[in-house]
Amino acid sequence: MSKPDPNRPARVQPRTLKGFRDHLPEAMIPRERLIDTARRVYRSFGFSPIDTPALEYLDILTGGGGAESDKQLYRFEDQGGRQVGMRFDLTVPLARFVAQHAGQLVMPFKRYHIANVWRGENTQRGRYREFMQCDFDTVGTLSVAADIETGLVIHDLLLAIGFEGFTIRVNNRKILNGLLAKLGLEGNAAAVLRALDKLAKIGPEKVAAEMIEVAGASAEQAAQVLQLSEIGGDNEAVLAQLEPLVAGNEIGEEGLSRLRETVAAVAAAGVPSERFVVDPLIARGLDYYTGTVFETFLDALPDIGSVCSGGRYDNLAERYTKQQLPGIGASLGLDRLLAAMEELDMIERVGTPASVLIAYFDKTRLHDYLRLAAVLRAGGIAVEVFPEPKKLGQQLKYADKKGFRIALVAGEDELAGGRCQVKDLTSGERHEVSLDEVVGKVREVLAEGQRDGGTEGQRDRGTEGQRDWGTGGMRE
């Protein structure tokens, strides 16, 4: 038995921190498709990309999202003795960014930002300590048109991903603030709204108890706030029931008027009323929201929580500048949405983004296989050449495990005759075609798989410009 080498460092057990994850190709492929779809939808509305550092000075981040966000901040002292924190969302860094670069930006400024954020919170289904947000925001306008467009972007984004059954719940914080002012609770509005935001999770009794204990509300005041939970009906009915609750309060009446205009405009743009619903209980827990707020739920899996949320924040940048820079936007919860899609069996696990595997069948013809791959890629088809001249059965087994849609097989005789076999790995069918026809035949087989209702992964690995993911038309 050999003795351990004293000069060799001790092995470290490979492991990840709680709330953090590695992403294997089978997870990263659908993840990147979602990112690509979000990017495409955001750009279709004129939003431009930006990026900001993962680390910010601590005073930039603290107070931006409220006491709860401050508790969840990852913070430390860097090598220079500076107090720094890791961003907990992308909105507070946006406020700093806009205040710092306002002279270089054209207002209104429309941006999207897709990046990781970190929160030291308890982990649960679809919730992690490191996760990615896909934000879009409009800064520099108070116009209700920006509120309306935010709702339309959320709607188009969920459709593009492949969902038909979802509900965007919308409210206006000014309605809630107006009601609280009438009840004499305006001084503790933030604490009341944070409690109200937990209603679906903890129920009315615990929410009332929190309002009394944390926000200083009386039992009667808490009960009056919770009357909001008794409001029901279609959008017009809900809006009508809110009128007497804010009547006589200027802020509340302004919020109700703006909410009514937003709902009417979204409906005029063609969004079905069952997908855009007024919910007077939507408050959003972060302190910086001042107006319209959104939360989006999947009809088939509502208990996973909101998958796309946001709202208007007209005062956030005032922490950094005297210039008024109102904004509104929302964020797609990428990790939560992927967890939901996996639970709903909307994602097929595949280990390759390519459609085609070229078998290395004849060890003397590597150059021919590489030329064939180049032709296919020039035709917009993703292709991989197997790197070793192993037995064909082993290569086809590899293709099956990775999830390729098609295998191209050509030995010495086929190549000498300028021909190639196109094997459909789903149906098992083989087609022998000339090398001049191979691109067209591959496209035909891929298109046939789409018409036959192939799996998500199979459909997505089609030719460029023809990819489709799931029902609902996530088209590149």
Give the DSSP per-residue string, 259-274. Answer: HHHHHHHHHHTT--GG
Per the CB < 8 A criterion, the answer to whether 157 and 267 are in contact is no
Architecture of domain 25-343: 2-Layer Sandwich (3.30)
CB 74 within 8 A of CB 118: yes
pLDDT given for residue 394 in this prediction: 96
List, for residues 253-286, the tens digit of each pLDDT value.
Answer: 999 999 999 999 999 999 999 999 999 988 886 6
Q: What is the 3-state secondary structure (H, E, C) of 10-42?
A: CCCCCCCCCCCCCCCHHHHHHHHHHHHHHHHHH
Taking phi over 0 as left and psi of -120 to 50 as alpha, with beta for the rest, 465 belongs to left
Tell me phi and psi for residue 139, to 5 degrees.
Answer: -120, 140
127: helix, strand or coil: strand
Instruction: Break the chain into its structural domains and give their ranges.
Output: 25-343, 356-475
Architecture field, domain 356-475: 3-Layer(aba) Sandwich (3.40)
**CA neighbours within 13 Å on the CB side: how many for 166?**
30
Helices and strands per DSSP (H, E), number in the chain: 18, 18
- Do 379 and 463 form a contact (C-beta atoms < 8 A)? yes
Show the tokens assigned to 69. 């966000």
Per-residue tokens: 347: 């994602």
Q: What is the pLDDT of residue 398?
A: 96
Rg over CA atoms, the chain: 27
Q: What is the DSSP string of 209-273?
A: HHHHHHS---HHHHHHHGGGGG--SSHHHHHHHHHHHHTT-HHHHHHHHHHHHHHHHHHHTT--G
Among 355, 439, 369, 373, which Cα is nearest to 410's? 369
Q: Which residues contact 106 (CB under 8 A, 6 or more apart)?
A: none
Q: What is the pLDDT of residue 463?
A: 37
Strands 276-278 and 166-172: parallel
Low-confidence ranges of the chain (pLDDT < 70): 1-2, 4, 64-66, 125-126, 285-286, 450-476
Identity of the amino acid at 378: A
What does the pLDDT read at residue 126?
Answer: 57
Distance CA(285)–CA(191), nearest Å, equals 9
CA distances from 210 to 184, 201, 218, 230, 290 (A): 17, 13, 11, 19, 22
pLDDT at 459: 39
pLDDT, tens digit, 9 for 90 and up, residues 382-420: 999 999 999 999 999 999 999 999 999 999 999 999 999
Q: What is the pLDDT of residue 399?
A: 95
146: left (phi over 0), alpha (psi -120 to 50) or beta: alpha
Q: Encoding tokens for residue 113?
A: 């930002």
CB-based contact 459:449 (threshold 8 Å): yes
**pTM assigned to the model:** 0.85
What CA–CA distance (Å, rounded) separates 131 from 265? 33
How far CA 475 is from CA of 161, 262, 422, in Å, comes to 9, 28, 26
- Residue 9 is given by DSSP the state P
Asked whether the beta carbons of 319 and 95 are under 8 A apart, the reply is yes
